Amino acid sequence: MKPSFKKIPNRGVVYPKDIENITGRKPRAARKLLLNIKAAFQKNNKQFVTVYEFSVYTGIDEEIVKDYLLD
């Protein structure tokens, strides 16, 4: 019998630790960048920043960002 595995989709949101890994910024600078992105997209503090929004704001290609996302 063949085992069935579900493919888990890639994460669609960006966290400060991801920003640290992608940009090489320190933790405080990564959190500040995340707040700036939220402000640019008129989001409140409880809303998430998507990979697409991060890519648009920073100019980094979405595929590059997805490669750096931590599991």
Write out pLDDT tens, residues 8-61. 667 899 999 999 999 999 999 999 999 999 999 999 999 999 999 999 999 999
State yes or no: pLDDT of 1 exceeds 70: no
Q: Residue 18 corresponds to which amino acid?
A: D
Tokens encoding 33:
């960048």
Please state the three-class secondary structure of the chain as a single string: CCCCCCCCCCCCEECHHHHHHHHCCCHHHHHHHHHHHHHHCCCCCCCCEEHHHHHHHHCCCHHHHHHHCCC
CA 15 – CA 70 distance, rounded (Å): 9
Indicate whether this model's pTM tops 0.75.
yes
* Whole-number pLDDT of residue 69: 86
Q: Residue 62 corresponds to which amino acid?
A: E
